[in-house]
Amino acid sequence: MASVLAIFGPTASGKTAVAVALAERIGAEVVAMDSMTLYRGMDIGTAKPTAAERRGIPHHL
Protein backbone atom coordinates (compact mmCIF):
# COMPACT_ATOMS: atom_id res chain seq x y z
CA MET A 1 0.00 0.00 0.00
CA ALA A 2 1.28 3.48 -0.85
CA SER A 3 2.06 5.99 1.87
CA VAL A 4 1.42 9.72 1.87
CA LEU A 5 3.86 12.12 3.52
CA ALA A 6 2.88 15.73 4.14
CA ILE A 7 5.30 18.63 4.54
CA PHE A 8 3.84 21.85 5.95
CA GLY A 9 5.32 25.29 6.45
CA PRO A 10 5.16 28.96 5.49
CA THR A 11 6.08 30.32 2.05
CA ALA A 12 9.79 30.06 1.20
CA SER A 13 10.62 27.93 4.25
CA GLY A 14 12.33 25.14 2.27
CA LYS A 15 9.42 22.72 1.84
CA THR A 16 10.20 22.10 -1.84
CA ALA A 17 13.87 21.36 -1.15
CA VAL A 18 12.87 18.83 1.52
CA ALA A 19 10.18 17.30 -0.71
CA VAL A 20 12.53 16.95 -3.70
CA ALA A 21 15.33 15.44 -1.59
CA LEU A 22 12.87 12.98 -0.06
CA ALA A 23 11.35 12.16 -3.46
CA GLU A 24 14.82 11.44 -4.88
CA ARG A 25 15.64 9.20 -1.94
CA ILE A 26 12.46 7.10 -1.94
CA GLY A 27 11.45 7.36 -5.63
CA ALA A 28 8.35 9.47 -5.05
CA GLU A 29 6.63 12.39 -6.78
CA VAL A 30 5.60 15.78 -5.36
CA VAL A 31 2.00 16.97 -5.14
CA ALA A 32 1.84 20.73 -4.52
CA MET A 33 -1.25 21.99 -2.71
CA ASP A 34 -0.59 25.72 -3.18
CA SER A 35 -3.31 27.07 -5.48
CA MET A 36 -1.20 30.14 -6.35
CA THR A 37 1.27 27.99 -8.32
CA LEU A 38 -1.41 27.60 -11.00
CA TYR A 39 -1.06 31.19 -12.17
CA ARG A 40 1.49 32.19 -14.79
CA GLY A 41 3.52 35.21 -13.80
CA MET A 42 2.88 34.66 -10.08
CA ASP A 43 6.43 33.48 -9.40
CA ILE A 44 7.24 36.29 -6.96
CA GLY A 45 5.41 35.96 -3.65
CA THR A 46 4.53 32.30 -4.20
CA ALA A 47 8.10 30.91 -4.17
CA LYS A 48 7.22 28.75 -7.17
CA PRO A 49 10.08 26.26 -7.68
CA THR A 50 12.23 26.62 -10.79
CA ALA A 51 12.98 23.69 -13.10
CA ALA A 52 16.43 23.44 -11.51
CA GLU A 53 14.91 23.27 -8.02
CA ARG A 54 12.53 20.50 -9.12
CA ARG A 55 15.56 18.44 -10.31
CA GLY A 56 13.49 16.27 -12.65
CA ILE A 57 11.09 15.09 -9.96
CA PRO A 58 7.50 15.03 -11.31
CA HIS A 59 5.34 17.71 -9.65
CA HIS A 60 1.54 17.64 -9.65
CA LEU A 61 -1.21 19.95 -8.41
How high is the pLDDT of residue 44? 61
The rounded distance, in Å, linking the Cα atoms of 19 and 6 is 9
Mean pLDDT of 10-18: 87
Mean pLDDT of 5-21: 89
Phi, psi of 19, deg, nearest 5: -65, -45
CB neighbour list of residue 15: distance below 8 Å, 6 or more residues apart: 7, 8, 9
Q: Is the per-residue pLDDT at 43 higher than 80?
A: no
- Kindly indicate the confidence band of residue 23, based on its pLDDT and cuts at 50, 70 and 90: very high
List the single range of 11-15, 16-20, 41-45 with lowest mean pLDDT.
41-45
The full set of domain ranges for the chain reads: 15-60
Percent of the chain with pLDDT over 70: 72
